[in-house]
Amino acid sequence: MEAFVAEIVAKYNYWIYVVLMMIGFYAMIGKRNLVKKLLGMNIFQTAIILFFVSTGVKKGGSIPIVDKYQALAGGIDAANFDNPLPHVLMLTAIVVGVSVTGVALSVLIRIHKEYGTLEENEILEKLSK
């Protein structure tokens, strides 16, 4: 049991992201309202962004912006700076998330024009008539 608690404490960042991800994932597949599904999608993506950024953390590290002249003189210790790669990846993933949200919102507007509602079961009812 103690080993388990120690494991959780050492990796609590993963527990946080998994809980967030589960909230988002449940909203995406379990909710009936299309806007709630979209919100779930955003939570899901945010959880993944948190996950990646948390992997870039290094104990004793600061933001990866170095002093130019010190670096050119070769005096940089990599242990003092966080890992820049996850940040780069997540900048890209954030943009992708924004884009998908934008397209999804426009599709929702079309759906609302078409059926007058955003509840999935009401739409399906109208379709089956």
Partner 1 sequence: MRDINEHTPGEDLIIKAAVRLLVPFAQLFGLYVVVHGHYSPGGGFQGGVILGAAFIMLALAFDMKTSQQYMTIGVNAAFNNLGAAIFVGVGVLCALFGGLFLDYSALDKLIPLGPVEWRSFGIFLVEVGVGFTVMSIMVLLYWNLSSAGSMKEGL
Partner 2 sequence: MKSLALFATLVTGALLLFGTKDFPAWGDPQSPASTYLSPVYIEQAVAQTHVPNIVTAVLGDYRGYDTMFETVVIYCAGIAVLSVLSRNRKDEE
Partner 3 sequence: MSPTNLHLFVLIVPLLSALVVNLFGRSWRQLIAPLVLGSLSFSLLGAIVVMGRVLNHGTISYTVGNWQPPFGIELVVDPLSAMMMVLVSVVALLASFSSLKSVEQELPGREAFFFTLYLILVAGLHGLIVTADAFNLYVLLEITSITTYGLVAMGRGRAALSSFNYIIMGTIGACFYLLGVGYIYILTGTLNMADIARILPTLNAPVATTTAIAFVLVGLWIKMAFFPLHTWLPNAYSQAPTGAGTLVAPLMTKVTVYLMVRVILTMYTPALVFTHDWVTKGVIWTAAFAILYGSCMALGQKDLRRMLTYIIIAEVGYMVGGVFLANANGLTGAVLHIVNDALMTLCLFLAVAAIIFRQGSVSLVSLQGIFHRMPITMAAFTLGALAMIGVPPTCGFFSKWYLILGGIDGNHWEFVIALVASSLINVVLFFRIIELAYFGSLADGEHHEHASAERHEAPWWMLKPLVITAVLLFVVGLSTGPLVNNIISLIVPAGF
Interface with partner 3 (CB under 8 A), residue total 31
Residues 6+ apart with CB under 8 A from 47: 17, 18, 20, 21, 23, 24
> Residue 129 has what DSSP assignment?
-
**Which 57-116 positions form the footprint of partner 2 (CB under 8 A)?**
57-61, 64-68, 71-72, 76, 78-79, 81, 83-89, 91-92, 95-96, 98-100, 102-103, 105-107, 109-110
**Which 57-86 positions form the footprint of partner 3 (CB under 8 A)?**
85-86
Asked if 45 contacts 28 with a C-beta cutoff of 8 angstroms, the reply is: no
Please report how many Cα atoms fall inside a 13 Å half-sphere around the Cα of residue 36, on the Cβ side: 12
Q: Is 29 in the site for partner 3 (CB under 8 A)?
A: yes
The answer for 60, left when phi > 0, alpha when psi is -120 to 50, beta otherwise, is left
Which range, of 2-10, 24-32, 57-65, 74-82, touches partner 3 by CB under 8 A? Answer: 24-32
- Distance between CA atoms of 18 and 3, rounded to whole angstroms? 20
Q: Is 102 in the site for partner 1 (CB under 8 A)?
A: yes
| Residues within the interface to partner 2 (CB under 8 A) | 7, 10-15, 18-19, 21-22, 25-26, 29-30, 54-61, 64-68, 71-72, 76, 78-79, 81, 83-89, 91-92, 95-96, 98-100, 102-103, 105-107, 109-110
